[in-house]
Structure 1
Amino acid sequence: MRFLDSLALFLLALSVDASRISRTGYVVHEKRDIIPTAWTRTRRLESEAVLPMRFGLQQQNIHRLEEILMDVSHPESPNYGKHWTPAQLAETFSARRESIEAVKTWLEGEGISADRMRLSPSRGWIDFNATVDEIESILQAEYHVFKHEDTGKEHVACDSYSVPHHVKEHIDLIIPTLHFDAKINAVAPKRMAKRDSVPVEGAARNVGKPGVGLNPTTTGKVSKILGQLENCDSQITPDCLRALYEVVYKQVATEKNSYGIVEYTTQAFLGSDLGEFSLLLSKHSNETNTLPSLVGKRPKFVATVNQSFNFNGESDLDLEYGMALAAPLKVTLYQAGDIPEGASFNNLLDALDASYCTFEGGDDPTQDGIYPDPLPGGFTGPESCGIVKPANIISTSYASDEADLTPFYAIRQCNEYGKLGIMGTTILYSSGDHGVAGNSGVCLNPNGTQSIGGTRFNPLFPAVCPFVTAVGATQVNPNSTVFEPESASEQVIFSGGGFSNVFKRPSYQDAAVEGFLTNHPPPFTSTQFNTSGSRGFPDISANGVNYVVAVDGEFSLVFGTSCSSPVLGAILTLINDARLAIGKSPIGFINPTIYSEFFKGALNDITSGGNQGTPGFTAASGWDPVTGLGTPNFPKLLARWLLLP
């Protein structure tokens, strides 16, 4: 008996030791060191609560993304302009069978049976429901309930989670974990969890709400429209922009071309405002009826509940100037999100790429709009997956603070922009309106929190993604003309710029950024910005000051990089027209091209002004983190792009 008791104790000890050895093989996959501003930890989440878990699988060949993108985008590449098909992308980047099996085997060993798991059709995600007790054991995590100081809403997150060392290389990210706003539902583990009955406030999907993210600024109504080129220092119109950037071109391939402008609900344009702006152009321009395609129409599924600059200013601005400069091409409006649920950048990517809905980060209930939406007034149709072919140029005048998102979330989304570039789409994002500060003018504190008094620069996403083109803002200087050099915008707004805290510097930017740091060393250290070889932004700029915009039946004076992005998009659309007319491909991802030696001198270098909303950088010769490489010189850009294959 004593022998059997001793044997039992020995076997129990082996079991305990084996468990300890297994757990020591875990490594931290993601970790958060601080609780986001305005949130307070209140209690541990109940162990019987059920979480809808999603395991994002590592994509094969993702380490080759920049290499492949450069191969079709660099002007010296023999494959320049030979853009890929969606099928080629899927075959190259889908998750490896080894990754799928490694994650499934691990989860089965942790008690998640195969019948509880679902592999997404694109083989990018493994989904299952699990109790908090189960998932805390699997991920060595602790889930807590957090309460928002202002709204009183409760949300769920953990501070870190771990995975086995041999599994880490097969996983991109796991949700819900560090992201807030996870949905909790008391349902059986084998069933899919349902959404909560109330909307939640996720940082990523609030980009279109008034006061959230990047918004244009107005100084009020315009009592008299001047309409002459000599007044462009106080009022910008489409004619001012044509003169500034020497845009003289008649389109000949509109049936082959496309230009898309993105808006996020609750932002919505008024058809009557487009009509008012069209009449303005007819009165003060040689061109007439430049806005025929959307006048009197409304985008589908968008209800303009409120009429004010905060709700209509962004959309009116983007469409009025994008359409005026791209006319007679019909501009495509990508309106993302319904009123109660909202949308994130991922929801747009869902609509452009069917595989993204299930493969690369779409439908994240912690950050993205989830459809169908059962809330009152919600969109009741399914998630829009791959419903449109991406336009040749896509402009977005919205942004989040990079610090609001975890690196894994931002990197996974950034990679999708790279894939769109490989397929030939140019992605433009505004760089921000607060200089080196983030949205609302907040900077980072040493512990990672954000505040007005922060001392570390706060870059914007997606502008910092190396696979998009970030667009800064310039101005016609007071008492100057459109025939004199512009400066960085310093009226009302300051061109957003700086260096990423997440993304490393892309190879196409090495020489330009090193030139700036060497020849114009900024008076800052690593305490203020990331000096370890990170992505610099913006890449290029366009005017963003004193725009005359029709909003709610009147004309307002508007400022922001929200002006700059759609204007640049329209100019690049004209270049695409010229290339398509002679049988060439659209320009696609433009950064490797505009940074190349071949394009040196094709942009108007901006050498005065700075993004000094808070102490920031100063414009200088060559690239700088205020205006990038400069503003477009249309004839020079057109000539160079027509010479490329």
Structure 2
Amino acid sequence: MRYRWIPLLFLLSTAPLGGIATSPWDDMRLKHSWKTIPENWESLGLPTAHTTIDLYIALKPYRENALIDALNEVSDPRHPRYGMHLSREQVADIVAPHPDTVQLVHSWLEHHRVTSSSVSVTHGGSFLTVTGVSVSQANNLLGASYQLYTHTKTNETIVRTLGYSLPVVLHGHVQTVAPTTFFSSPLTQEQTPQKRSGVAAVRLGKSPLGEPVRMPLSRRITHVTPAFLRWLYNTVTYVPSAMDRNKVGVTGYKREYPSPVDLTSYMRKYRPDGIDATYVVAVVNGGEYDPDNPGREANVNLQLSVGMTYPTPHIFYSTKASPDGDFFLAWLDAVLGQQNVPQTITTSYGYSEKDYPMEYALEACLLFAQLGTRGVSVLFATGDDGVGKGDCTARFAPVFPATCPYVTAVGGTMSFRPEVAASLSGGGFSEYFSRPGYQQRAVSTFLDNLGQQYSGLYNPLGRGIPDISAQAITIPLFYKGEEIFAEGTSCSAPIVAGIISLLNDHRLSQGKRPLGFLNPWLYRAAGSLNGLNDIVSGSNPGCNTDGFSAIVGWDPVTGLGTPDFLRLMHILDTGSSNPPE
């Protein structure tokens, strides 16, 4: 849709003929609402009169399709601009709002006596943050009814409204406003780790490339070490050389921190050539860092990624939630403002997609697209509840941001020769995002095979997840000095991120650009040219169903399969990433 730009002076001066002049700010239309209080939340009533909030206002870009057009061009191996990623300034320019949008929104704020000194602008003017807004003022601005709500399990207390509106004249200019109707708290994808007890016998074998590697006696893996992963995914012989340019980012939320002591213990046992491995901490939005109080999630994410990529530098982002209560937007706001961003970033957190207001999710997804245009490969775990947690009486419940079509979603596998789908592997189809072009052929083939099974429980036109997978079961980590086991796609995502980082290292060492947004390449080149190991057995039960089944080709359990580093590197080196249609 293209917007019709009406001169602002004309818009603000309109009045019914022969009547009393009315303000366009009084003509309100609903933007989003919930019918009931979201699950696990309950109202505590009205906040005190002195309560203030900071409002986050996302403005729609003037060039509506320019960002995604640019992302597709720089990410599609068949396009002449493949790999020609944009700078921070170029991205800010293509997502900038029309000057009329800016003037209109500021006029609306001024009408409600919001002072200009309380308004800050970021990302080329596409985001406004209004600080210190009283609840009564926010209610007037948004036709809302803010109350205090508490989470029944975590006791977290927030200020939210079950619905909000905007003047009709702003609906074509404002994407979303927060905090408003977004209630959910981020959940980690990692399953509860278990302390290490007995370990089955292992023997010392040889990898296909000749490097000694500890190999399990059976196809049921007793513990998935870096040596095993490097053998399984063919990275054993590769030595990173672009450490001055290539970096990996690992995101952390909810006061989850890694421990350098635990990292040293992990590397000493499983990657002794990297005992000096370390990382840099970036504190985001007032986040904290307490290495003496580490978290299992942060430890397993960092240890696996470092174990795969040593000596590639790592940045751990410790992020506090943004004014709207969303950790992802706080992190995105900070990272998109940086001139240099790690080429590969992995995240093992997510929300149930249905907990996001749709327009809010769309806005967050477009911010991830901005990272892709800048040459960043963004990977998200798909969750550990198969097609959904609980009984899901209405629909299956995929996880966001994994459902965003501009990130790479990572599912889970187990065993080897052959690998099979891990039953916990999150997968399914988005209710919010339509199937992207790069998925059309692969997903259509799966749906043709599926037939009418689960009809009505999922969106057959939605973006399918995952895109790719990796080991997710019996993953050892060190936590507070003890070795324990973890399982989940929290483990799979940093493993895949490590392999992608090594591919980026290879490209950068040859003077080439990083891979950036992966999916068009994965589906159009790597999948069709056998750069991935197809997983053809296993399923992901959930919602009181057997879930989907892994089959030949793409499936919503393991995606395209697991990566083979050497084959993927060969595809890149030979330029065979332009297969015929």
Give the TM-score taking structure 2 as reference length.
0.84
Q: Whole-Å Cα distance in 2 between the matches of residues 235 and 468 of structure 1? A: 29
Q: Whole-Å Cα distance in 1 between the matches of residues 259 and 21 of structure 2? A: 63
Q: How far off is 1:565 after superposition?
A: 0.9
Choose which of 319, 332, 337 in structure 1 pairs with 2:315: 332
1:596 matched to which residue of 2? 524
Q: 1:316-359: CA deviations, max 9, x gaps?
A: 22222211221122322223249xx99712232233122xxxxx
Question: CA, structure 1 residues 331+116, in 2 after alignment: closer, same or farther (shift >3 Å)?
Answer: closer
Q: Whole-Å Cα distance in 1 between the matches of residues 39 and 281 of structure 2? A: 37
Q: How far off is 1:509 after superposition?
A: 1.1
Secondary structure of residue in 2 paired with 1:71? helix
Q: Whole-Å Cα distance in 2 between the matches of residues 132 and 320 of structure 1? A: 44
- In the alignment, is the contact (CA less than 8 A) between 2:24 and 2:169 conserved in 1? no
Q: Whole-Å Cα distance in 2 between the matches of residues 129 and 272 of structure 1? A: 41
Q: Whole-Å Cα distance in 1 between the matches of residues 472 and 359 of structure 2? A: 32
1:584 matched to which residue of 2? 512
Alignment of 1:274-313 (within 5 A): 274-281=263-270, 288-294=272-278, 301-304=288-291, 306=293, 312-313=295-296
1:56 matched to which residue of 2? 58
1:255 matched to which residue of 2? 244
* RMSD (Å) for aligned C-alpha atoms: 3.1
Question: CA, structure 1 residues 277+49, in 2 after alignment: closer, same or farther (shift >3 Å)?
Answer: closer
Q: How far off is 1:250 after superposition?
A: 2.5
Q: Whole-Å Cα distance in 1 between the matches of residues 344 and 330 of structure 2? A: 18
- In the alignment, is the contact (CA less than 8 A) between 1:607 and 1:620 conserved in 2? yes
Secondary structure of residue in 2 paired with 1:324? helix
Secondary structure of residue in 1 paired with 2:240? coil
Q: Whole-Å Cα distance in 2 between the matches of residues 49 and 313 of structure 1? A: 35
One-letter amino acid of the structure 2 residue matched with residue 618 of structure 1? S
- In the alignment, is the contact (CA less than 8 A) between 1:32 and 1:178 conserved in 2? yes
2:11 matched to which residue of 1? none
One-letter amino acid of the structure 1 residue matched with residue 72 of structure 2? M
Q: Whole-Å Cα distance in 2 between the matches of residues 550 and 44 of structure 1? A: 45
Gaps (5+ residues) in structure 1?
A: 1-13, 181-202, 283-287, 355-385, 445-453, 477-481
The answer to whether 1:534 aligns with 2:522 is: no
Secondary structure of residue in 1 paired with 2:295? helix
2:431 matched to which residue of 1? 501
Q: Whole-Å Cα distance in 2 between the matches of residues 350 and 291 of structure 1? A: 34
Question: CA, structure 1 residues 522+75, in 2 after alignment: closer, same or farther (shift >3 Å)?
Answer: farther
The answer to whether 1:457 aligns with 2:396 is: yes
Secondary structure of residue in 2 paired with 1:606? coil
One-letter amino acid of the structure 2 residue matched with residue 488 of structure 1? A
The answer to whether 1:619 aligns with 2:555 is: no
The answer to whether 1:221 aligns with 2:196 is: yes
Q: How far off is 1:41 after superposition?
A: 4.1
Larger Rg: 1
Q: Across the two proteins, how many residue pairs are aligned to each other? A: 536
One-letter amino acid of the structure 2 residue matched with residue 581 of structure 1? S
2:3 matched to which residue of 1? none
One-letter amino acid of the structure 2 residue matched with residue 81 of structure 1? G
The answer to whether 1:560 aligns with 2:488 is: yes
Secondary structure of residue in 2 paired with 1:28? strand
Alignment of 1:9-48 (within 5 A): 25-41=27-43, 43=45
Question: CA, structure 1 residues 82+24, in 2 after alignment: closer, same or farther (shift >3 Å)?
Answer: same
Q: Whole-Å Cα distance in 2 between the matches of residues 642 and 571 of structure 1? A: 16
One-letter amino acid of the structure 2 residue matched with residue 216 of structure 1? Q
The answer to whether 1:171 aligns with 2:174 is: yes
The answer to whether 1:517 aligns with 2:447 is: yes
Larger mean Cα displacement after TM superposition, 166-175 or 77-86: 166-175
Identity of aligned residues (%): 30
Q: Whole-Å Cα distance in 2 between the matches of residues 332 and 148 of structure 1? A: 32
Q: Whole-Å Cα distance in 1 between the matches of residues 297 and 132 of structure 2? A: 40
Choose which of 230, 236, 247 in structure 1 pairs with 2:224: 236
- In the alignment, is the contact (CA less than 8 A) between 1:278 and 1:291 conserved in 2? yes
Question: CA, structure 1 residues 424+53, in 2 after alignment: closer, same or farther (shift >3 Å)?
Answer: closer
- In the alignment, is the contact (CA less than 8 A) between 1:602 and 1:633 conserved in 2? yes
Q: Whole-Å Cα distance in 1 between the matches of residues 509 and 499 of structure 2? A: 16
Q: 1:575-608: CA deviations, max 9, x gaps?
A: 1122112211111111000110564122111110
Give the TM-score taking structure 1 as reference length.
0.76
Q: Whole-Å Cα distance in 1 between the matches of residues 263 and 150 of structure 2? A: 43
Q: Whole-Å Cα distance in 2 between the matches of residues 333 and 132 of structure 1? A: 35
Q: Whole-Å Cα distance in 1 between the matches of residues 227 and 20 of structure 2? A: 75
Question: CA, structure 1 residues 137+16, in 2 after alignment: closer, same or farther (shift >3 Å)?
Answer: farther
Choose which of 65, 89, 92 in structure 2 pairs with 1:90: 92
Secondary structure of residue in 1 paired with 2:572? helix
The answer to whether 1:489 aligns with 2:422 is: yes
